[in-house]
Amino acid sequence: MPDPRLPFDPIDRAGDLWEQHFGDATSMRLATSVMRVQQLMIGALDGALKPFGLTFSRYEVLVLLLFSKRGELPLSKIGERLMVHPTSVTSAIDRLEAQGFVERVPDEDDRRRTLARLTATGRSTVKKATAAVEGIDFAITGLTDRQQGDAYQLLRKVRRSSGDFPD
């Protein structure tokens, strides 16, 4: 199979062309790099989770349920916490329920709401899947621990400035 990599950095090339046509490419290079890194990370994380029948987005749901006090949350809370559309939550819960990792149960405090509850199989699976994700260091490659911390702080500033959370 041929090597799929280009013999040059396509983002650097795009940045050079951007500068010829539009001017400064600093922001474009960074934004494009962040999006490409996200693609690479999701690919690696999904690959590590595939043996468990999970994608990273469904893994996040299981982790969120594991972290909750009672191992269950309203579907609306899952969407809020993961910052995803309700349709995405419903789809993820449908898949996780079909796999036996979660079950839908009525909320005893508010019968209008449905909760997603982590099953014993789901709890066991998320723990094994976490070992796989940690085994690839969450797909963070090429950075020291300090560089990872610095990158996190820089990206946190971008998220805060974009209104992702209050100051």
Q: What's the pLDDT score for residue 145? A: 95
Q: What's the pLDDT score for residue 43? A: 96
Q: Give whole-number Cα distances, 15 to 19, 39, 126, 133, in Å.
A: 6, 19, 41, 33
Look up the CATH architecture of domain 49-137: Orthogonal Bundle (1.10)
Q: List the chain domain ranges.
A: 49-137
Q: What's the pLDDT score for residue 153? A: 97
Q: Which segments of the chain have a pLDDT < 50?
A: none
Q: What's the pLDDT score for residue 167? A: 78
Q: Which of 11, 16, 59, 14 is nearest to 37 (CA)?
A: 11
Q: Which of 92, 115, 118 is nearest to 105 (CA)?
A: 115
- Helical axes 10-21 vs 26-49, angle rounded to 10°: 150
Length of the chain: 167
